[in-house]
Structure 1
Amino acid sequence: MKSIWTKTAALPAFSVLEGHQQADVAVIGGGLAGMLTAAALRREGAEVVVVEADRIGGGQTAGTTAKLTAQHGLKYHQLIQTLGAEAAGQYARANLAAVERLRQLVREWSIECDFQDCTSFLYAVGAPGPLEEEHDACLALGMDVFLTRDTELPFAAQALGLRNQACFHPLRLLAALAEGLTVYEHSRVLTVEEHALSTERGSVSAERIVFACHYPFINMPGYYFTRQHQERSYVLALKGTKNLQNYYLGIDGEGLSFRSWGDTLLLGGGGHRTGENREGGKYALLEQAARRYWPDCRVAARWSAQDCMPMDGVPYLGVFADSRPSWLVATGFQKWGMSSSVIAAELLRDLALGRTSPQDLSVFSPHRFHLSASAKQLAEDTLQAVRGLSRQLWKPGRIPLEELPYGHGGIVEIDGEKFGVYRDKSGEIHAVTARCPHLGCQLEWNPDTLSWECPCHGSRFDLDGRLLDGPAQEDL
């Protein structure tokens, strides 16, 4: 299921890493965060190598709706309540600056990526109280917000707007960033030492190593697998709808997302924790909503995306761990990777070059821990991991193999061993181990994406067991 971006961008191809390379900085991950970081370092004269497991932009960057905004849902009222006004102000200023920085970069480099200035909106079809609370919080932090009922939506709603935001084509931007960079594709990093990384066929030595691979695959130090979980969401690219000048995200009801790119409307929604979509139907629900508003529309593309959700709602950007001062990390972008990638690139550039991290970005420190903001999510994530492990250890298979219908997947038990089995529409059996190789949780079948997903930490595998998303680093 290719995204509309993958279908409409020509990305350069790079060779596999072979032999040994030396660099000042090695960046793991060729998505927007990694490529922005590499480009920023190269402009400062650093020797940089980017190592990508698949194709550049082939992960979460290909799945984004590419809304460049500091409006991240009902974020600021929550941050003020949990982290305080100072931290909320840091978060707001950094993201507002990120929008402007990327706007300047696109203009300075004359990048053709369909960059469009617009207003970002949150909308509610029910009680407007949460929007009003968010409006007051944003105003207190100096953000240019306003409440209105005048929207482009095909239904009545109250909306909270933030002016001077933007949207663009993420892979066309990525293609421009790649020019002049040393990049290796199809080169999954298998091990990382303090100043070196290794792939199946090569290695890189570097003074600094940047983990910009969406989810850190090194469990210790850092323990990022205990500090965030992953969620999936779904998108339809539609033709024959209304063209929107701005973009919208619902905070109640169906919580749909609307954003136009040319004559194509991107309709998003159906979010859930990774590994918790056993019934499926997410694309069907989006299509039903689309035809309710535009009966004659047609689907041009459909895809899903995955996001890391940190416990306190703020990305982890900075030094990986106290015991690894030469490692840097960017993770936990939630659903707002466009502005977060810009913040990460500038912060990690400065740290990699030995510059002092600005105090005004301390809200993003990976070394923080806010008990009041994190305790509830920590308890939920821990319980989820315990459930995943207990299912693998104690729960029997859910369905006998002979009863598995055509076109369905499920957990079956054969001779006391669990397997994830998908019977395709022709009747062929695709069987894999039901145990995630990351930390051993039981996988679950996602019928919308035809993939096996780990409900503990979000690793994903296709129906034949090939790795799609980490933190796992090997196939089933």
Structure 2
Amino acid sequence: MNAEREIRGSYWLETAPGGAPAPPPAGDVSVDVAVVGGGIAGLSTAWELARRGREVAVLEADRIAAGVTGHTTAKLTVLHTLVYDHLRRTRGREGARLYADSQSAALRRAAEVVADLGIDCDWEEAVAHTYAEAPEHVEALRAEAEAAREAGLPAEFVTGTELPYPVAGAVRVTGQAQFHPVKYLRALTDDLKRHGGTVYEGTRVTGLTEGEPCVLETDTGVSVQAREVVVATHYPIFDRALLFTRLSPRRELVVAGPIDADRAPRDMYITTEQNTRSVRSAPHADGTRLLVVTGEHFTPGAPGAADVEERFARLTAWAQSRFPGLTPTHRWATQDNDSTDSVPLVGRLHPGSRHTYVATGFGGWGLSGGIMAGRLIADLVEGREPEWAGLYDPRRLASVVREGGTFLKNQAHVAKHFVGDRLPSVTSPAPEDLAPGDGAVLRVDGHQCAVHRDDSGQLHAVSARCTHLGCLVAFNRAERAWECPCHGSRFDPDGRILQGPAVRPLEPREITSH
């Protein structure tokens, strides 16, 4: 085994206590509220509602917090790169204020939960920075600091940081936090159960019939009836709201390793330069802290996304050049969904919804966004509407018009795959050309197959068409996964779903091994 394979995956999943998975429901279930998805948004919503006396069930396709939340950088902050100047221009000063107020309320809520439940989740207060090394980006930072202050945040423009390399400037916001997200969610889940909530793991939802009650279908054949349904699957698994036209998936890499505590930054840093670089550290052992570096974002499955190993190498080299002596012990990747107007979509699922809700489009800031979504949806279920509900309402149309360029760009990207993926390829390598560990979409007996050769030389073949809307998948060699460039669904080499919105696996195909 080479050294590369010895590097472990998500540090948060490795170091969080866990037990046996909660079993799927043994029979049909009836509850007040069914929450689909066991990440930060789904569990926060379920917990808020259970605390308010609702009978709640959480349906998670895998394990609690094992998806996006378990692969985050784990920064809990209201400073979301350059969002406030953008909102000031597109939603006005009031829109920027509502965004700041709602995200700040989420941060305070998390601190209250940690204190009230006594959660041991490495909670640390920290200062958040959005910085730039290039002088030409300073004016954008000054504008962001001004917009954030106008929105009510304790923001300032500074030219010095604790980073071991110079910056041209930074936006600085105090009173933020960083923590261990999986430990937090495991404790939240335990408290949810104490308040009568139920969690079902290994239970994939495959269908929804809206009504009174709503009915969810699962891959186990069991149905769940609920007066209210919350879809918190990161990317919505139901397309009736056409939200997929307003979301674009983005994958990002993380490398982490221990460094001496006196060399580790104690605050949080991010820059949009160099295809994004995010830096923070977390408590570790033996006088060290774990340096966590994120960056190299790309569209999963898109041309150029296959060089993920090169991206990992670039990110590692950058981290080692800025923090000499760093030896990565962990690496992983996460996936985010960006909305066309840079604001999450949280609220009623579609214009005709009476009892269905959605939380999505957090754009890389899902921790504060997910906690915010939990409180917002819980209020909506109870007939209350917070002042910022309109800002996040998925049914909003004015912002789509304002952000028409981004909307059209997203749809052109998807349309290209819908058309191009249905044209016959000019060339197609043969299965015997695949090296161990590699994969490619090959034309076999007139059909497009996704073929992977494992390290032992055995071939694994599945349909190359994503079961969501039929785009062709592409192979991510570094993570050994098939990825859809249209909406971000991901599958393992045998076609099993790793990430939605697909709810059905890729169909197996027969192919002769050479």
Q: Equivalents in 2 of 1:153, 1:395: separation in Å?
A: 51
Q: Equivalents in 2 of 1:252, 1:270: separation in Å?
A: 10
| 1:298-337 superposed matches below 5 A | 298-337=327-366
Deviations 1:320-376 (A, max 9, x none): 1122210011111110011111111111111122x2212333100011022443211
Aligned to 1:184: 200
Instruction: Report if the CA contact (8 A) 2:437-2:480 is conserved.
Output: no
Deviations 1:170-222 (A, max 9, x none): 011111111123101101111111211121242221110111111111111x1
Q: Equivalents in 2 of 1:360, 1:393: separation in Å?
A: 43
Q: Equivalents in 1 of 2:163, 2:478: separation in Å?
A: 27
| 1:454-469 superposed matches below 5 A | 454-469=484-499
Please give the root-mean-square deviation of Cα atoms over the aligned residues, in Å.
Answer: 1.5
Aligned to 2:4: none
Q: Equivalents in 1 of 2:429, 2:468: separation in Å?
A: 25
Q: Name which of 296, 301, 317 aligns with 1:275.
A: 301
Q: Which amino acid letter does the alignment assign opposite residue 348 of structure 2?
A: V
Instruction: For residue 317 of structure 1, give the secondary structure of its aligned residue in structure 2.
Output: strand
Aligned to 1:393: 422
Instruction: For residue 240 of structure 1, give the secondary structure of its aligned residue in structure 2.
Output: strand
| 1:162-173 superposed matches below 5 A | 162-173=173-184
Deviations 1:397-451 (A, max 9, x none): 5433333333322221122211122223433222221111111111111222221
Q: Equivalents in 2 of 1:442, 1:229: separation in Å?
A: 16
Instruction: Report if the CA contact (8 A) 1:229-1:308 is conserved.
Output: yes
Instruction: For residue 33 of structure 1, give the secondary structure of its aligned residue in structure 2.
Output: helix
Q: Is 293-302 or 341-350 further displaced after alignment?
A: 293-302
Deviations 1:2-57 (A, max 9, x none): 31000000134311112111111111111111111111111111111111111111
Q: TM-score, normalized by length of structure 2? A: 0.89
In structure 2, list runs of 5 or more residues that go unmatched: 1-7, 284-288, 507-514
Instruction: For residue 81 of structure 1, give the secondary structure of its aligned residue in structure 2.
Output: helix
| 1:64-213 superposed matches below 5 A | 64-127=72-135, 128-157=138-167, 158-179=169-190, 180=193, 181-194=197-210, 195-199=214-218, 200-213=220-233
Aligned to 2:408: 379
Q: Does 1:49 align with 2:69?
A: no
Deviations 1:122-171 (A, max 9, x none): 11010212111111211222211112232122210122111101011001
User: What's the offset of the Cα at 1:378?
Assistant: 1.4
Q: Equivalents in 2 of 1:390, 1:447: separation in Å?
A: 25
Q: Which amino acid letter does the alignment assign opposite residue 27 of structure 1?
A: V
Percent of pairs identical after alignment? Answer: 36
Deviations 1:231-277 (A, max 9, x none): 10010111235322101001223521111111101111010112220
Q: Equivalents in 1 of 2:163, 2:275: separation in Å?
A: 14
Instruction: Report if the CA contact (8 A) 2:30-2:225 is conserved.
Output: yes
Instruction: For residue 233 of structure 1, give the secondary structure of its aligned residue in structure 2.
Output: strand
| 1:348-359 superposed matches below 5 A | 348-353=377-382, 355-359=383-387
Q: Equivalents in 2 of 1:322, 1:131: separation in Å?
A: 37
Q: Equivalents in 2 of 1:182, 1:63: separation in Å?
A: 24
Q: Is 94-103 or 248-257 further displaced after alignment?
A: 248-257
Q: Does 1:264 align with 2:290?
A: yes
Q: Does 1:367 align with 2:378?
A: no
Q: Is 249-258 or 30-39 further displaced after alignment?
A: 249-258
Q: Is 389-398 or 57-66 further displaced after alignment?
A: 389-398
Q: Which amino acid letter does the alignment assign opposite residue 352 of structure 2?
A: S
Aligned to 1:214: 234
Instruction: Report if the CA contact (8 A) 1:381-1:456 is conserved.
Output: no
Q: Is 8-17 or 25-34 further displaced after alignment?
A: 8-17
Q: Which amino acid letter does the alignment assign opposite residue 3 of structure 1?
A: S
Q: Equivalents in 2 of 1:151, 1:48: separation in Å?
A: 45
User: What's the offset of the Cα at 1:89?
Assistant: 1.5
Q: Which amino acid letter does the alignment assign opposite residue 270 of structure 2?
A: L
Instruction: For residue 359 of structure 1, give the secondary structure of its aligned residue in structure 2.
Output: coil
Instruction: Report if the CA contact (8 A) 1:125-1:253 is conserved.
Output: no
Instruction: Report if the CA contact (8 A) 1:238-1:267 is conserved.
Output: no
Q: Is 140-149 or 304-313 further displaced after alignment?
A: 140-149
Q: Equivalents in 2 of 1:67, 1:347: separation in Å?
A: 21
Q: Equivalents in 1 of 2:414, 2:102: separation in Å?
A: 33
Q: Equivalents in 2 of 1:169, 1:371: separation in Å?
A: 35
Instruction: For residue 131 of structure 1, give the secondary structure of its aligned residue in structure 2.
Output: helix
Aligned to 1:407: 437
Aligned to 2:512: none
Q: Equivalents in 2 of 1:371, 1:461: separation in Å?
A: 31
Q: Equivalents in 1 of 2:402, 2:499: separation in Å?
A: 27
Instruction: For residue 192 of structure 1, give the secondary structure of its aligned residue in structure 2.
Output: strand
Aligned to 2:15: 8
Equivalent residue pairs, number:
474
Q: Is 355-364 or 326-335 further displaced after alignment?
A: 355-364
Deviations 1:49-99 (A, max 9, x none): 111111111111101111111111111111111222221211111111211
Instruction: Report if the CA contact (8 A) 2:32-2:55 is conserved.
Output: yes
Q: Name which of 251, 270, 283 aligns with 2:272.
A: 251
Q: Which amino acid letter does the alignment assign opposite residue 189 of structure 2?
A: A
290 and 87 in structure 1: CA distance in 2 versus 1, 3 angstrom threshold = same
Instruction: Report if the CA contact (8 A) 1:18-1:203 is conserved.
Output: no
Q: Which amino acid letter does the alignment assign opposite residue 438 of structure 1?
A: H
Instruction: For residue 321 of structure 1, give the secondary structure of its aligned residue in structure 2.
Output: coil
360 and 389 in structure 1: CA distance in 2 versus 1, 3 angstrom threshold = closer
Instruction: Report if the CA contact (8 A) 1:398-1:410 is conserved.
Output: no
Q: TM-score, normalized by length of structure 1? A: 0.96
Q: Name which of 455, 463, 477 aligns with 1:447.
A: 477
Instruction: For residue 269 of structure 1, give the secondary structure of its aligned residue in structure 2.
Output: strand
Instruction: Report if the CA contact (8 A) 1:391-1:441 is conserved.
Output: no
Instruction: For residue 403 of structure 2, give the secondary structure of its aligned residue in structure 1.
Output: helix
